[in-house]
Amino acid sequence: MVGGGQLARMTHQAGIALGVQFRVLAEGPEVSAARVARDVTVGDYRDLDTLRAFAAGCDVVTFDHEHVPTDHLVRLEKDGVVCRPGADALVHAQDKAVMRERLTALGIPCPRYRLVAGVDDLAAAARELGLPLVLKATRGGYDGKGVWVVDDLDGEDVGRLLSADVPLLAEERVDFVRELSAVVARSPSGQAIAYPVVESVQRDGICHEVVAPAPGLPEDRALDAQGIALRIAGELNVFGILAVELFETQDGRVLVNELAMRPHNTGHWTIDGAVTSQFENHLRAILDLPLGSPRPRAPWTVMVNVLGGDYPNMHYGLLHCQARDPAMRVHLYGKEVRPGRKVGHVTAYGDDLDDVRERARHAAAYLTGEIDE
Amino acid sequence: MVGGGQLARMTHQAGIALGVQFRVLAEGPEVSAARVARDVTVGDYRDLDTLRAFAAGCDVVTFDHEHVPTDHLVRLEKDGVVCRPGADALVHAQDKAVMRERLTALGIPCPRYRLVAGVDDLAAAARELGLPLVLKATRGGYDGKGVWVVDDLDGEDVGRLLSADVPLLAEERVDFVRELSAVVARSPSGQAIAYPVVESVQRDGICHEVVAPAPGLPEDRALDAQGIALRIAGELNVFGILAVELFETQDGRVLVNELAMRPHNTGHWTIDGAVTSQFENHLRAILDLPLGSPRPRAPWTVMVNVLGGDYPNMHYGLLHCQARDPAMRVHLYGKEVRPGRKVGHVTAYGDDLDDVRERARHAAAYLTGEIDE
């Protein structure tokens, strides 16, 4: 796996039971996955020779993020390296313009959009899509980075963006009721599974809380969302996990917001809440093993991210959370606490949504130091 | 953790979520846990200097087996190393004579026994306990090794045993209905939890199948077994997991057969079948963190060991098992297949015991090559 963050860490954890020999290309010797895996190469994923040396001897190469240059992936595949997902699929998770054009051509519902190469395009986009609109860097964004809401075309930020020579995409600002996520897995044999559609609550562009399944979601809308995700996985020939982030609109439609082709934050609940976790199914998919059941194990599962707070030491918070709630599932990523950084997540499950949500929120807030009572 | 077998492997897996930095003293670079952990020291646990060097810098030292010489443990503790369980507790899992004498002194029900130092003792044991009797090496046995059923005092095997200068224990051969296991965890703060009592099915002295909870076990007998395990944990001051293997007799009593002070084969079902696995609770206990809920997640959970068979490659068996039963949980230990060797286990859970047991047995038999249809 290229990239040594928490997704690689949890993928390794799942791979232990499968007997997978896991190798990670890590950004440094102390990144999240490097702290727990045996076979760690430290190197820069932007360097082709580093990638080539890393891939030598791997049966399959997969990714913990979308940042490996597409050209490098194409070169690796020409070398005979088995990349899953492959470059032709992954580019749709790397480049939002490529993704929008392809999904639109497939007739998959998306927000209206327009590519923006300069100030004239932006003015045209504003006329077409209205203000405020959402301006996105087509490449390199994550967790709210690379996304700007534009109210005023003459604003200082807009000028800076346009002059920075970054390819941009303008999208209508969707008046959504909430955000949903449909996580599916697909293998080279063409087998696919779909997890229940979840509700994803964002704060400042970062996934904060996930409720599985999405409360009150009509069955036809859930099937619609799963169908969109499965269709994208098939049309784009995705291998591994595909997460499709969606807007649910006032009038009951679902529109595709973002794609990710790797285990995704909106699927972390599956570790404790589903028969087979997204991490195990990612491995089973890329290794072309039969996929595991995505069924939920409890009526409700709630995952809340633990973002670094003001207290660098989580030990006393952990003592409190474990003593207060012996059924709480805590997942720490082995990362130093810095404000706003994803350092872990907690998961609660049970029969009563309000209770489950309160438990998970309390534990996360306590671990971050937000509350201390 | 001293010892790099599958117990260390699965403990590391559980420790990843807790943010534990796990170090293992492994018998070789390719043993089960060494294949997946970052921090591996290869060395001989029978060598005191090796143990001392390994323990330096560890907050807590724990064990994947009972074979570290007791004297070494005492020396380590004198050096200031925190061993959990400590030498005073662990000796009861290392030496069956010490265990029998202590449990008897505590009034805990055990098979009748007699220490055997020579041929006269054995004759006296036979008069007192009847024939056949069970002769056990007081130290070093596991998985049926070091245990002999004696029908005839003049047999060749008996002569060889007596002349081998191995300390022996003679026990009555208990006419048991079945074997049970009570797994508990206890922390230095004195907190303890008890998992449901399970039925353990042995073949040739090796645990073959575990059913959780033990079918048809009357509640008072289950409480009796849990009470015995909790009392032993408290009286012996055990830190970590304590597994108490028990005989259930025709007349409804439970007698203690063996003790283990580490995650135990009869607790593997907890990974998929309980809110908190025995591996996580072992770590939480030895680190003096609050313990996790031992509650089962399904009405029935069945674990079946995968013992190496005639087919060295389990890949096709795995394909079959995963395709046939997407809810099957397979755990492979990364060990080379050798006949009779524990190379993995499978776990199924659900509402119907017969169905769950059939699924788990089929998967294990298929992986071992016992069946191929």
Taking 90 as the threshold, does the pLDDT of residue A124 lie above it? yes
Q: Which of A318, A301, A292 is nearest to A357 (CA)?
A: A301
User: Long-range CB contacts (< 8 A, 24+ apart) of B142-146?
Assistant: B142/B65, B142/B66, B143/B205, B143/B206, B143/B207, B144/B202, B144/B204, B144/B205, B144/B206, B145/B205
Neighbour tally for A303: CB within 10 Å: 30
Residue of chain B whose alpha carbon sits nearest to that of A349: B275
Taking 70 as the threshold, does the pLDDT of residue B15 lie above it? yes
Q: Give the distance from residue B164's alpha carbon to the nearest chain A alpha carbon, in angstroms.
A: 41
Provide CATH 3.40.50.20 ranges for chain A.
Answer: 6-83
pLDDT digits (tens, 9 = 90+) for B28-49: 999 999 999 999 999 999 999 9
Mean pLDDT of B305-317: 86
In whole angstroms, give the CA distance from residue B33 to residue B27: 10
Q: Give the distance from residue A318's alpha carbon to the nearest chain B alpha carbon, in angstroms.
A: 8
pLDDT of residue B63: 98
pLDDT of residue B36: 98
pLDDT digits (tens, 9 = 90+) for B243-252: 999 999 999 9
In whole angstroms, give the CA distance from residue A112 to residue A103: 12
ipTM score of the complex?
A: 0.96
Put simply, whether B319 touches A (Cβ < 8 Å) is: yes
Taking 70 as the threshold, does the pLDDT of residue A144 lie above it? no
Residue B175: pLDDT band (50, 70, 90) is: very high
CB–CB contact A290 B322 (8 Å): yes
In whole angstroms, give the CA distance from residue A12 to residue A39: 10
Residues of A in contact with B36 (CB under 8 A): 12, 16, 22, 37-38
In whole angstroms, give the CA distance from residue A271 to residue A349: 11
Mean pLDDT of A71-91: 98
Binding residue per annotation — A357? no
Residue B166: pLDDT band (50, 70, 90) is: confident
Mean pLDDT of A49-59: 97
CB–CB contact A18 B292 (8 Å): no
Over chain A, what is the mean pLDDT?
95
Fold held by A112-172: Dna Ligase; domain 1 (3.30.1490)
Taking 70 as the threshold, does the pLDDT of residue B142 lie above it? no
In sign, the C-alpha dihedral spanning A165, A171, A173, A178 is: negative
Mean pLDDT of B347-354: 98
pLDDT of residue A113: 97
Q: What are the structure tokens assigned to B294, written together?
A: 């031992």
Mean pLDDT of B148-160: 85
Nearest to B330 among A17, A21, A344 (CB): A17
Is beta strand A342-350 parallel, antiparallel or unpaired with respect to A300-307? antiparallel
CB–CB contact A290 B319 (8 Å): yes
Q: What does each C-alpha distance from B171 to B113, B126, B174 come to in angstroms?
A: 4, 9, 8
Residues 6+ apart with CB under 8 A from A68: A2, A45, A46, A51
User: Using only C-alpha atoms, what is the Rg of chain A?
Assistant: 20
Q: Give the distance from residue B237's alpha carbon to the nearest chain A alpha carbon, in angstroms.
A: 21
Taking 90 as the threshold, does the pLDDT of residue B158 lie above it? no
Put simply, whether A10 touches B (Cβ < 8 Å) is: yes
Put simply, whether B344 touches A (Cβ < 8 Å) is: yes
Residue B159: pLDDT band (50, 70, 90) is: confident
Q: What does each C-alpha distance from A94 to A71, A137, A246 come to in angstroms?
A: 12, 11, 17
* Residue with the two structure tokens 């997407």: B326
pLDDT of residue A140: 77
Q: Quick one: what percent of chain A has pLDDT higher than 70?
A: 98
Taking 90 as the threshold, does the pLDDT of residue B368 lie above it? no
pLDDT of residue A146: 84
Put simply, whether B16 touches A (Cβ < 8 Å) is: yes
pLDDT of residue A354: 98
Put simply, whether A200 touches B (Cβ < 8 Å) is: no
Q: What are the structure tokens assigned to B6, written together?
A: 């599958």
Put simply, whether A228 touches B (Cβ < 8 Å) is: no
Mean pLDDT of B103-115: 97
pLDDT of residue A49: 98
Mean pLDDT of A318-323: 95
Q: What are the structure tokens assigned to A170, written together?
A: 């303008």
Q: Between these two residues, B211 and B312, which has the higher pLDDT value?
A: B211
Put simply, whether B38 touches A (Cβ < 8 Å) is: yes
* Across A94-108, A126-140, B64-78, B263-277, least confident range: A126-140
CB–CB contact A13 B18 (8 Å): no
Cβ atoms B229, B221 nearer than 8 A: no
Put simply, whether A339 touches B (Cβ < 8 Å) is: no
pLDDT digits (tens, 9 = 90+) for A229-279: 999 999 999 999 999 999 999 999 999 999 999 999 999 999 999 999 999
Classify A334 as helix, strand or coil: coil
User: In chain B, what is the straight-line distance between the N-terminal and C-terminal CA atoms, in Å?
Assistant: 40
Fold held by A176-368: D-amino Acid Aminotransferase; Chain A, domain 1 (3.30.470)
Residues of A in contact with B327 (CB under 8 A): 275-276, 292-293, 295
Put simply, whether B322 touches A (Cβ < 8 Å) is: yes
Residue B153: pLDDT band (50, 70, 90) is: confident
pLDDT of residue A142: 65
Classify A14 as helix, strand or coil: helix
CB–CB contact A326 B293 (8 Å): yes
Residues of A in contact with B22 (CB under 8 A): 36
Cα-flanking dihedrals φ and ψ of residue A286, to 5°?
Answer: -70, -25
Provide CATH 3.30.1490.20 ranges for chain A.
Answer: 112-172
Binding-site residue ranges of B for ATP? 96, 136, 171-174, 179, 257-258
Amino acid letter, residue B245: E
Provide CATH 3.30.470.20 ranges for chain A.
Answer: 176-368
* Across B117-121, B235-239, B278-282, least confident range: B117-121
Binding residue per annotation — A179? yes
Residue A206: pLDDT band (50, 70, 90) is: confident
Q: What is the assigned CATH class of domain B6-83?
A: alpha beta
Taking 90 as the threshold, does the pLDDT of residue B145 lie above it? no
Put simply, whether A290 touches B (Cβ < 8 Å) is: yes
pLDDT digits (tens, 9 = 90+) for B234-272: 999 999 999 999 999 999 999 999 999 999 999 999 999
DSSP state of A293: P
E strands in A228-353:
240-249, 254-260, 300-307, 329-332, 342-350
Amino acid letter, residue A270: T
**In terms of DSSP H, where are the helices of chain A?**
6-18, 48-55, 70-79, 87-94, 96-105, 119-129, 156-163, 219-235, 270-273, 278-286, 315-324, 353-368
pLDDT of residue A310: 75
